[in-house]
Chains A and B, each alone.
Chain A
């Protein structure tokens, strides 16, 4: 299958190095401590943060740092063909773990000992790149909840199809059989906190794809930063009145 037309355009009309349209909204769930939606093209995720709060089960309490928990769930209507996904299926468990570890690395857990932070990520629409989208949404929700972080985490996926590195795969490209590489990084510290890839690619190509994903993540980081600034400005204005 041709994923890139002779004119150099992808199936959805993007150039290989182009991100999908990004959209975000902060503070979407009133009752939560922090919440945000994040959209990358047709992929839409809502993330909600409860905490820091008292640890629910005593045995899990850590005396020197916060306990970070994460649950990932997919709405039954989020995929093209409707299917009910159990909450505890392997994919959901794996993603919960990945998101938890990535966010835990960013949160200054040592500042919040004996407390618990819950991150709930709900996929409303899945069109490739849910992993990256979830992490971006979680970052915004954590920032909205005012939880101290080393740096924001921004994430983006990249792949390699028709001998071309391409950025921010959609569902069709994702299932195209090529590698799918997701990177999450701290843009200010310039450190990678998550790197995942399936399938195989030559080492020299890997570097190209990896760099592309990092560049994408940095662009996403810029977007997240702007959104946060905008939100903060609004809060300041609201307070001033």
Chain B
């Protein structure tokens, strides 16, 4: 996105980051307040919308019955795509948003889909299998950027994690055709009470560290992003494993700096996950499909170690 900044503004941003107090009063390692709504798209199996400062994204999960991917009969399918709506910026009109959409989709695919063998995927692909070699769930995770004020990748990963946690798969009953030769005969349960939840504890969240000058910051705004020299997005799951790395920006990084960034991102992701789990308390299965809104005002006062500061 094009952000027009004067020389004075650039100095102000860089100087503020060096002094550990940014334009909106945050320290280098503070996130903005955010707000999560779940079940915002009734037609989807799961959905969530997150407003992170001026960034506003929606993620939806749609489940369809499909045939397992070739060569992996006991796996389901997981697909991720992102679209940037021109509502976020007039530059995204027509094909203008395509490049950014592709960049974001690839970074998310890298973090959520695991290796080519399917190991390390955000959702256990074997859990999506229904009849081996014949029938499985295909989960389509779509992200839509409605408004953009920096840090889209982190916001999208949080929204997708929330949408996956919100996702309910209808029960499938296999009536016949279980032998290898026959086509499986199945019935989808129409009862809205009967659904299975996905195991989402291992879905990673992405933390992007943006390097401006000598320091790096989390949750950069669009203005701060325009001043970055490099940014590294690290996806971390509950186990503390790194699930994806994506680098942006032309400047080179030392290997030791990169490893340091990974460990800082890990600390931040733990805080984010805790906040998300806290939000998750309010969406117990009984009140499923009723929109849940949760505002993480407290979050602002949590530092990277998850402690409350003044």
Contact = CB atoms under 8 A, between A and B. Distances in A.
Contacts of B140: 76-77, 82
A23 B81 CA distance: 29
A106 B81 CA distance: 37
A75 to B, nearest CB: 5
A3 interface: no
Contact of B144 (A50, A75, A84): A75
B60 A32 contact: no
B93 A120 contact: yes
Interface in B70-106: 81, 83, 85-90, 93-95
B43 A78 contact: yes
A46 B56 CA distance: 12
Interface in A55-89: 71, 73, 75-82, 84, 87-88
Given A77-B47, A118-B93, A124-B41, A30 B142 contact: no
Contacts of A75: 58, 60, 83, 85, 142, 144
A80 B43 contact: yes
A77 B62 contact: yes
A81 B94 CA distance: 24
A48 B93 contact: no
B83 A76 contact: yes
B43 A73 contact: no
B170 to A, nearest CB: 14
A76 B142 contact: yes
A71 B83 contact: no
Interface residues of A, number: 30
A122 interface: yes
A136 interface: no
A42 interface: yes
Given A35-B87, A118-B93, A77 B54 contact: no
Contacts of A73: 85-86
Contacts, number: 87
Interface in A133-183: none
A120 B86 contact: yes
A163 B85 CA distance: 41
A90 interface: no
Contacts of B94: 71, 87-88
B139 to A, nearest CB: 10
Contacts of B148: 31
B64 interface: yes
B44 interface: yes
A31 B89 contact: yes
Contacts of B93: 71, 118, 120
A165 B89 CA distance: 41
A124 B43 CA distance: 10
B147 A30 contact: yes
B54 A30 contact: yes
B213 interface: no
Contacts of B47: 77
A77 to B, nearest CB: 4
Interface in A80-129: 80-82, 84, 87-88, 118, 120, 122, 124-125, 127
Interface in A202-227: none
A76 B146 contact: no
Interface in B119-145: 140, 142, 144
B147 A82 contact: no
B224 interface: no
B58 A82 contact: no
11 contacts: A28-B56, A31-B89, A31-B149, A42-B43, A46-B146, A75-B85, A76-B83, A77-B62, A87-B95, A120-B85, A120-B93
Given A42-B42, A48-B87, A125-B42, 19 more contacts: A29-B87, A29-B88, A30-B147, A31-B89, A31-B148, A31-B149, A46-B85, A46-B87, A71-B93, A71-B94, A73-B86, A75-B60, A77-B47, A77-B140, A82-B140, A118-B86, A122-B144, A124-B58, A127-B43
